[in-house]
Every structure is written in C-alpha cells, then in structure tokens.
Amino acid sequence: APRERMFDRMISARYRGDHSAIEGMDTADAVAYITKVGDGSSDITVLEACTRLCRALVDGTLSVEDVVEDRNGLATRVFIYGSPLYEAMRRVEDEKVGEPEGAQRVLDALLPVLSTLSFDGDSVATAYLDDSETVYRWFRCQTLQRIHFNLGRGGDARACRIVPDSYRRAQSFVANALVTLGRLDEALAHADELARIAPYDCYHNLQRASILDDLGRTYEAADVVRKILPYSDNPQDATRCLCDLAFYEWKLARTDLAVACSWKAAKYMGGDNARGKKLLKQILDAAPEYKGMKADECDRLMKEEGVSAGFSPETTTLAFAAAMLCVDDGLFWSAHDLIDHVLSVDPGKVLHDIN
C-alpha cells in the first residue's frame, strides 16, 4: 500500500486531473527527482521501488513518457512488483514444494536472493529487522490483524513499516521446502521470522507450531496455538487452530482437553467442521471412555484451561465498533472487511444495530 500510494502521487496524477510530477523532464532530471523521493521516504519498500524505477530509466527499459503514461502497465510492475525476490517467487510459485525435487528448486531460487537482503548473508533480511525507530510487520488482508497489533503495542511509539509480501511468501516457501527435505532446524529459523513479522497471522503461527511438533517440541507447539487462538478472527482459522491444538494435546496425553477442542471444532459455525468431526472420532475410538463428555463439560474444561474458542464476543464488539468508525471516516474497504468478520460469526448483530 505505501508503494502504491507513492506511485499514485508521483506518476499517476492524471487520475486527479493535474500533471505528473516528472512530465516533460528529461531522463536525468526524472531520475534525480525519483531518487530524491526515495531518499526522503522512511519506508524501505518505497526506497527500493524508487531505486528500481531509476534503474529502468537509466538502462532504457522505460522512458519518461512510459512512466508518465504507464504504457501497458510496465511502470507499475517495475515500481511495485519488480524486485529480484518478487521475480524469484514468480519462478517457483507453482513448484510442488512437498516433493524433494520441487523443494530443492525452491531453495536454489530463493535462498540466494534472500541472502542479498542481509549484511551477513543470512536468509533473514537485515533491512527488515526492528530497530530503535521502526518495527517491520506484515498483515494479511484482515483489518483486525492490524487492530490487534496496534492495541497490543502499549507505549511503543516506533513507526510500523510493512515488509514486502514477496519477502513473507519467500520465507514461507523456504520453510516448507526445508521441512520436506528434513532440515527442520533450518525450517524453524524461517518460521520464527514469519512469526515475528506476522505475529497475529494464524497460518504462519500454525506453520511454526507444526515444525516445533516435528522437532519433538510438542509442548511448545501447543503453547503457540493457545496464544494465537484468541486472534483467529474467522471460523475457518478458529477451527484450524482448535483441531491443531486438539492433536497436540492428544499427543501430550491430555485426552480430555483434546476431546473438548475437537468437539468445539466440529460444532463451530462456518468452520471446517469435517476435520473436527474426523479428529474427534479418531480420539474417541482410541479413548472410548471419553465418549460420555457433554457439551457443557467441554466448554467448562476449555475455560478452566484458558483455551479461547476463537472469535470471542469481545472481538465481535471490537470489530463492529471499528467498522462504524471506519464508515464515519470514509474508510469503506476497511469497514467492509471488518463487517465481513462480524457477519461470519454473528450475522444478527449487524442487522440489529442497523435497525
């Protein structure tokens, strides 16, 4: 989003009926102007994008007129999507990462590019490490993730910058490829980086938990799921978390809690109920003495253990209140996203408040 806004301000002014900032400039002046824009931004993604655009102007890939008119969308692609990591991801995104040959091709393509983002050649980008002034994070297209992050910051006044999606996807692809090849300790390092930049994302936290479990660290895996479960802001994420937690608790000989979590997943409105039912049947077939557990026992046990059931009433209220504030400020995309969350769990609330 920051890159797209910068691109709009700098070279897409035609949509606002005025003139592009670099219209009529020769190449040298245009490069000087774009360089100044990049240097003046504290957002690393904008600086990278301006650098790519200048390089395209200097080597003749683009002319100033191409940039001003954005012919065939080429300038947009260079500015927003043209990083080496993005291009490397495009080459491997259809690889079968679950097969050894495909996994190795993913590593061969992505690890060298990731290493160029670090001062010491590591695969964690030095440029995106938190410092005294900035934290670097990534949020899926879910406004609630950003709200959870903002509310959890306390007195941290550092600016929050968004890392490129290609970096997040590359880390995830590499982690999965390393798991396929049995290199679990290396995979965990990439999963740790994903959990750092996407602390409220269920998918990447569950990915990390799975690797911890593969390493025999099931207690830690269960703890990861317990912590992310309250932020599972839609029924699909909630049931995935509940099923994974049930599986880990079963392995840890907490069969009663495993039954409670899988039962909740099987009954969760709008979620992946089939997986919950299948897991519940497996647990009860192996431990038939728990077949008599009632719904209120399951709810009571989960409450005693501090296990959230996913999208809580408090989160629903928070999402609805935030949606109304977004509407008041004209932020309709964010309001739509938040209302979708509320509707997925409590459709009657929206209708009630509208009335």
* pLDDT tens digits along 69-115: 665 555 666 666 667 887 888 888 888 988 999 999 999 999 898 88
| pLDDT, greater one: 134 or 309 | 134
pLDDT at 16 exceeding the cut of 60: no
Average pLDDT over residues 157-175: 88
pLDDT at 309 exceeding the cut of 90: no
pLDDT tens per residue across span 203-215: 999 999 999 999 9
Beta bridge partners of residue 136, listed in sequence order: 161
Residue that has been written with the tokens 């395209």 in this structure = 56
Residue 293 — pLDDT band, cuts 50, 70, 90?
A: confident
Tokens of 101: 């040959």
| pLDDT, greater one: 248 or 265 | 248
Measured between alpha carbons, how far is 261 from 309 in angstroms, rounded to an integer?
Answer: 8
Top-confidence range, 13-17, 246-250, 272-276? 246-250
Say whether 162 sits in a helix, a strand or coil. Answer: strand
| pLDDT, greater one: 101 or 7 | 101
| pLDDT, greater one: 12 or 173 | 173
pLDDT above 70: percentage of residues in the chain = 79
Q: Quick one: pLDDT at residue 75?
A: 63
- The identity of residue 67, as a single letter, is V
pLDDT at 351 exceeding the cut of 80: no
What is the DSSP-derived secondary structure letter of residue 13?
G
Arithmetic mean of pLDDT over the chain: 81
Residue that has been written with the tokens 């099923």 in this structure = 243
Q: Quick one: pLDDT at residue 348?
A: 66
pLDDT at 12 exceeding the cut of 80: no
pLDDT at 4 exceeding the cut of 60: no
Assign residue 270 a region: left if phi > 0, alpha if psi is -120 to 50, beta otherwise? Answer: left
Beta bridge partners of residue 159, listed in sequence order: 134
The closest alpha carbon to 142, from 6, 323, 271, 268, belongs to 323
Exposed/middle/buried for residue 139 (C-beta within 10 Å: 0-12, 13-18, 19+): buried
The closest alpha carbon to 34, from 85, 25, 160, belongs to 25
Average pLDDT over residues 153-160: 86
What is the DSSP-derived secondary structure letter of residue 129?
S
Average pLDDT over residues 348-354: 59
Contact call for residues 62 and 53 (beta carbons, < 8 A): yes
What is each CA distance from 322 to 130, 140, 337, in whole angstroms? Answer: 28, 17, 10
